[in-house]
Amino acid sequence: MLVNYKKIIRRAYNEHWALGAFNTSNLEFTQAIIEAAEEMRSPVIIQTSEKAIDYAGLKSISGLIIAMARKAKVPVILNLDHGRSYRLAVEAARAGYTALMIDGSKLPFVQNITLTRKVVLLGKTYGAGVEGELGTIGGAEDYIKSRGIIMTKPADAKKFVLKTGVDILAVAFGSSHGRPQKGEHLDFIRLRAIRDALKGVPLVFHGASSTRRDYIRKAIRLGVSKINIDTDLRWAFTAAMRKTLADVKIYDPREILGPGRVAAKEVVKEKMTLFGSCGKA
């Protein structure tokens, strides 16, 4: 079933587990995510980045996900990941996305608030939850690139949430997109201070692929209720395809892509177990 995440993520926050948010750009990744969610009886967020939308087409990829989500036996949220413009947020909302992430993190503070508030009002019109971002997460993924990490300040986070009305907030506390960077350090003292300043607003962990399991659990205890995973899925999918392609007799795309789907599905199941969302559907 296709749903909004507002009630689910509030429950996750109160019960100290997290929703996995997994990126897709094609049929096989979408199948892997939904099949895993059904097997684990877990609610799930499926998300598309701007690059995935450019690759597959907004109506094509959203139509595929929505059709599969409506048939799913568990709650499925369709989220715009790192949308950088109001125009794209409008297009996603009209296409049926039930969650919108607007990333104004590279804008000056006041401009970020203005853009995010505008998308929050849009979300209310379409019944979509809205995620904002404050601070800069390191690394690079698709169109999101950073030269360094700018940590989120607790006082700024409090002001940002009050001014924008976002449902959830992505914060920078040391993680990077892609795999963990050399010397990466997660500032849990900062994360705790942000949680305390926001008094009940769920937090989002971007750049969580390959992060230590105990770090993930600690982040959840400190208010993280949505965790984004993309790179780990890509590595598993591609490794399985490479293994299959070693057999030069195989030429059917379904035989090549199928093992990738299975490998990605196992990663999703593993993450759901780690996040504590299994059985929560």
DSSP string, 11-28: HHHHHT--EEEEE-SSHH
In a domain, 1, yes or no: no
In a domain, 150, yes or no: yes
CA gap 98, 278 in Å, rounded: 21
Q: How confident is the model over 55-77, as a mean pLDDT?
A: 97
In a domain, 127, yes or no: yes
Instruction: List the domain range (segments joined by +) for residue 215.
Output: 6-275
- Rounded to the nearest 10°, the torsion over CA 256, 60, 92, 223 is -20
Q: How confident is the model over 199-203, as a mean pLDDT?
A: 95
Q: How confident is the model over 253-260, as a mean pLDDT?
A: 95
Which has the closest alpha carbon to 129: 8, 277, 273? 8
pLDDT at residue 208, as a whole number: 87
In a domain, 281, yes or no: no
170-181: per-residue pLDDT in tens? 999 987 766 665
Question: What are the residues facing 192 on neighbouring strands?
Answer: none
Number of H helices, E strands in the chain: 11, 11
CA gap 80, 178 in Å, rounded: 18
In a domain, 30, yes or no: yes
Decide if 247 is catalytic: no
pLDDT at residue 139, as a whole number: 53
In a domain, 161, yes or no: yes
pLDDT at residue 210, as a whole number: 83
pLDDT at residue 181, as a whole number: 58
In a domain, 158, yes or no: yes
The one catalytic residue in 54, 81, 167, 252 is 81
Q: How confident is the model over 228-248, as a mean pLDDT?
A: 95
Q: How confident is the model at residue 129 (pLDDT cuts 50, 70, 90)?
A: very high
In a domain, 160, yes or no: yes
The count of structural domains within the chain is: 1
Which has the closest alpha carbon to 112: 140, 84, 93, 81? 84
Query: Crossing angle of helices 109-126/86-95, nearest 10°?
Result: 20
Residue 99, pLDDT > 90, answer: yes
Q: What is the CATH number of the domain that holds 51?
A: 3.20.20.70
Strand order in the sheet with 138-141: 144-145, 138-141, 176-177
CA gap 226, 203 in Å, rounded: 7
- In Å, how far are 4, 34, 92, 200, 275 from 167, measured between CA atoms? 11, 24, 17, 10, 20
